[in-house]
Structure 1
Amino acid sequence: MTLTDRLNGINVYLIGMMGAGKSTTGAALAQTLGYQFFDTDAVVETASGQPIADIFAAQGEAAFRQLETGVLAELSTYRRLVIATGGGIVTQRQNWSYLHHGIVVWLDVPAPVLQARLAQDQARPLLQRPDWESHLATLLSQRQSLYAQADVRVSVGAEDRAEAIAARTLALVDQRIRSEADSAVLN
């Protein structure tokens, strides 16, 4: 039985900080599993007809989070999806009710690696400030305990490529599913 069979159509949700590689890894995972891939940020932009930075500027973060929750709620009704979520999706309690419809995978990337990846990124609204590096560290610190609620944690290093991260993720998801199946048999 393959991992896709063991998943039985359950969605895979990728969580983690901006710059963690959720979109790239998610696309690789979806291809391997034969699932469809969605990025909640891209869906928000398509649904609203505007870039996330414009939503933040015109309506604020709370309005963006509301749109993001709506997108997550809609996607969670489907099966056989890999969904890359926005870095702050875990901060809204109700989002966990949608995430728990599938396997939640945390791409855990150390702050220095995130800083290197995001140093030239002008598109992230939460980083458009002079002290962006310390703000990024603060966000990571605030969200870490929320990310730690994931079903699977994948440690990602600076040199890791998406294919290697995807392979590790699949192995850890498979291990998690098998251990849950073993527990169910024992109970």
Structure 2
Amino acid sequence: MSASTMRAFAPAPCARPRSVSRSTTRRVALAAAADATSAQYLRGRAVADKLVGTSVFLIGIMGTGKSTVGAALAKAMGYKHLDTDELIQGVTKKTPAELFAELGESEFRAIESLILAEVAAYKNCVVSTGGGIVCERTNWMHLHNGVTVRLHGENELLAKRVLADGVEKRPLLASEGGESDDESEQMARVVARIEKLLEARESMYKQADLTVPLGSRDDAGAPVDVVIDRILEALDARVSEDAVQSKLKNEPKDGDITVTDPRGELGPKPNA
């Protein structure tokens, strides 16, 4: 089976002071967003240069936003974005949910593994994977061709996202039954399912090279740009760490290794 790689403002004169117009506010906001995007773009390109073409694989349970984050991360790094679920649909002309219903999970996983084997051969890609891709041991041979980044959030946050997106898109929720109009019951059911899946997969997700949290202070989940910054920071640190390990293997000279603690991350943590 083959998968193709697709794919200024000047206020008008006025005799008395006026409040800032909506147009001005919008332009200021857009300018700020452009600055943030520019900074992220530069940082992303710098990290991509250090990775020297190594692809990044996003893994994580349903609701972690792998597709959305993957597209934004690829843009920041100048990489190509590939989504295994989208590729499967492009090849089979059926959604993952439809394939689950018609063929069962085992056959779907076999197709998923074939797609992963193809995309793993490419460099300079951010690959958003399905939540269960970690379940097949042979898939790790392909995932280890790049850097694996696990997106991780609180179960309640993930359940909210899944419900907002529509449970019908999640084949592993189709068997839950007991559909109810009561939001609290729906939430409890999805949280329970996520907990059950994590119980079975946690040891596999922990094999990721990096784990990036999705949380925020208000429990609504961090914005995508914040998650991208976290990923880039983690990738940058990991590349630097690997460079140090390379020096260790080559008998480092004095001055090769410098231990610093710029963010106060060594030693005891302050109480939250």
Residue 85 of structure 2 contacts residue 129 of structure 2 at CA under 8 Å; is this kept in 1?
yes
Residue 56 of structure 2 contacts residue 149 of structure 2 at CA under 8 Å; is this kept in 1?
yes
Equivalent position of 2:213 in the other structure: 155
**Paired residue secondary structure (1:17):** coil
How much has 1:133 moved relative to structure 2?
3.3
Give CA deviations for 1:33-53 in whole Å, capped at 9, x if unaligned: 100001101101111111111
Equivalent position of 2:235 in the other structure: 173
Question: 1 or 2 for the larger relative contact order (CA 8 Å, sep ≥6)?
Answer: 1
TM-score (ref. length: structure 2): 0.67
The question of 1:101 aligning with 2:145 is answered yes
Percent identity over paired residues: 39
Cα distance in 1 for partners of 2:109, 2:192 equals 22
Equivalent position of 1:50 in the other structure: 94
Q: Which moved more, 1:154-163 or 1:75-84?
A: 154-163
Cα distance in 2 for partners of 1:60, 1:102 equals 29
- Where does structure 2 lack aligned partners over 5 or more consecutive residues? 1-44, 178-188, 250-272
Higher alpha-carbon Rg: 2
Letter aligned with residue 96 of structure 2: I
Letter aligned with residue 201 of structure 2: R
Cα distance in 2 for partners of 1:35, 1:119 equals 30
Equivalent position of 2:173 in the other structure: 127
Structure 1 segments of 4 or more deviating over 6 A?
A: none
Give CA deviations for 1:64-107 in whole Å, capped at 9, x if unaligned: 10111011000001110000000000000000000000000000
Q: How many residues get paired?
A: 187
Cα distance in 2 for partners of 1:50, 1:83 equals 20
Letter aligned with residue 150 of structure 1: A
How much has 1:170 moved relative to structure 2?
0.7
Cα distance in 1 for partners of 2:64, 2:192 equals 17
Letter aligned with residue 41 of structure 1: D
How much has 1:56 moved relative to structure 2?
0.6
Give CA deviations for 1:123-171 in whole Å, capped at 9, x if unaligned: 1110122344322210012111111111111011133011110111011
Letter aligned with residue 202 of structure 2: Q
Letter aligned with residue 117 of structure 2: A
**Paired residue secondary structure (1:116):** helix
Equivalent position of 1:33 in the other structure: 77
2:109 to 32, 41, 65: 65
Cα distance in 2 for partners of 1:29, 1:133 equals 27
- Where does structure 1 lack aligned partners over 5 or more consecutive residues? none
Letter aligned with residue 78 of structure 1: Y
Letter aligned with residue 172 of structure 2: L
Letter aligned with residue 173 of structure 2: L
Equivalent position of 1:164 in the other structure: 226
